[in-house]
Amino acid sequence: MNGVVGYMYPNEVTLYWSVLIVLYPFITGLVAGAFILASLERVFRVEAVKPTYRLALLTALAFLLDAPLPLQLHLGHPERSPEMYFTPHSTSAMAMFGYVYLWYLMAVLVFEIWLDYRRDIVLWSQESKGLLRVIYKIMSLGSSNISERSLHIDERVGWVVTLVGIPSAFLLHGYVGFIFGSLKANPWWSSPLMPVVFIFSAMVSGIAAVMLIYMAVTKLRRQSIDMRCIDTVAMYMFYIFIIDFSLEMLDLVHRIYEADESFRSLDFMVHTKLFFSQIVVQIIIGTLVPLVLLFITQVARIREVIRKRIYVLCGCLILISVFAMRWNVVIGGQLFSKSFLGYTTYKMDLVTREGLFVAIGLTILPLVFLSVLLKLLPPWPEKTLHEVAAGD
């Protein structure tokens, strides 16, 4: 009967959380991960990754602007979503979304970008004409003060914002993990590890995304890629991926060892319904292959050209793997019955509001936003604030 094997409670046969709910944590994960990469330079003074600093912030912003869209398209009544701002339910992790999102967007990301770009914005507002001039003038909030003192204040405040931004990024993505991890009704989701795994896989995906975007944009600008930069980025990506993989393996080993009442049903599901997406895509192709390849680049001396290709391949595989992880969590959690006696099938539509085409569109849209941001706020003008301060 319509894709059901065994017994499912009658209301469980339909999946209520679609591919858009897979996409949402993937996107906020990219935001959090990109921001962490930016903070590596700003707070932890990893000089080598500086070329990616502004790009990482803009990438985070582009994806953050896109992030509410899958949620709005999923809701039965998106016009009522302001209720989350007016009457948020304090016992619901989902209720904090509105405020965490707004905080992260305005008080962290936009604030930090504004502080870092302010000198350039003021200069651009004086140089450009027409509509652009108006846009820059508005962005400058009418202040044209770019004295040494004011820029120094910006630098200090920006440092604090980045520092605050790190736990904010963890909150922005960690709460999504908590939404799943705190549900006792669903044993595939219920785990204290869930927010932690989400955060670490987010970091890996965000770093991979910024690395790929940096390489692509640099190529498009016909500039040479700063190898010291992406070697360092890849190194951090590798080590964080190891931590992420360890956490996921810990969850798996723990489940197999404890073998509680849900285990047999979940085990069967992983070996059948989720075999391709979890074993093949997420674990083998998406995790083991990049880990081995990145390990090789860390211990052996590889020619620059080959290294770049390996980084591109690994970056792509990591993005696919992290998406697959979100898929396996969200969709996997709905494929088995809470009676542990049956399974259903996810029939993904193509052209409906929650269908595949919309999901693809929402994945491409942030890149469109990013290209606009790159035009409006180019990360590599003649001299950035940092370079002026450092006397480059």
Partner 1 sequence: MSALKDAGHLFRFAGLFVIAFVVFLVVRSYVVPKTFGQYGHYRAAAIGEIADHPMKFAGHETCEACHTDIADTKTKGAHAHVNCEACHGALAAHANDPTSVTPVKPDTAVLCARCHTASAAKPKGFPQVDPADHSSGAPCQTCHNPHSPGIGADTGASAAKGGAQ
Partner 2 sequence: MNISRRHLLVLLPAAAVAWKHVLAGTPQDSPNYQMSEHWWGMLIDIPKCIGCGNCVRACQTENDVPDGFFRTWVERYHRSDIHLENPEVISPDGGKEGFPPVPEGAEGDYFFVPKMCNHCSDSPCTQVCPVGATFISPDGVVLIDQKYCLGCAYCVQACPYGCRYIHPTKKVADKCTLCYHRITKGLTTACCEACPTGARQLADLKNPNDPIHAFLKTHSVQVLKPQMATGAKAFYNGLDGSVR
Residue holding tokens 């950035």?
A: 384
- Minimum CB distance to partner 1 smaller for 62 or for 161: 161
Partner in contact with 107, chosen from partner 1, partner 2, none, beta carbon below 5 to 8 Å by kind: partner 1
Show the binding pattern over residues 151-190: x = contacts partner 2 (CB under 8 A), - = does not. Answer: ----------------------------x---xxxx----
The answer for 347, left when phi > 0, alpha when psi is -120 to 50, beta otherwise, is beta
Enclosing H/E stretch for 343 = strand 342-343
- Minimum CB distance to partner 2 smaller for 118 or for 326: 326
Distance CA 292, CA 298 (A): 10
* Helix 193-220 / helix 19-42 crossing angle, nearest 10 deg: 70
Q: Is 133 in the site for partner 2 (CB under 8 A)?
A: no
Residue 248 CB partners (closer than 8 Å, separation 6+): 197, 201, 325
In the region spanning residues 123 to 142, those forming contacts with partner 1, defined by CB under 8 A, are 140-142
Q: Which of 333, 70, 43, 36 is nearest to 174 (CA)?
A: 36
Query: Rounded to the nearest whole angstrom, what is the least distance from the CB of residue 143 to partner 1 in the complex?
Result: 4
Partner in contact with 141, chosen from partner 1, partner 2, none, beta carbon below 5 to 8 Å by kind: partner 1
Interface residue with partner 2 among 256, 259, 280, 341 (CB under 8 A) is 341
Interface residue with partner 2 among 44, 92, 228, 249 (CB under 8 A) is 92
Enclosing H/E stretch for 373 = helix 356-376
Q: Is 258 in the site for partner 2 (CB under 8 A)?
A: no
Q: Which of 43, 53, 148 is nearest to 389 (CA)?
A: 148
Distance CA 18, CA 349 (A): 9
Interface residue with partner 1 among 82, 228, 284, 371 (CB under 8 A) is 82
Count the residues of the shown chain that bind partner 1, applying the rule CB under 8 A.
Answer: 21
In the region spanning residues 92 to 111, those forming contacts with partner 1, defined by CB under 8 A, are 106-107, 111
Distance CA 208, CA 34 (A): 8
Residues that bind partner 2 (CB under 8 A): 7-12, 14, 16-17, 74-78, 80-81, 83-84, 87-89, 91-95, 97, 179, 183-186, 333-334, 337-341
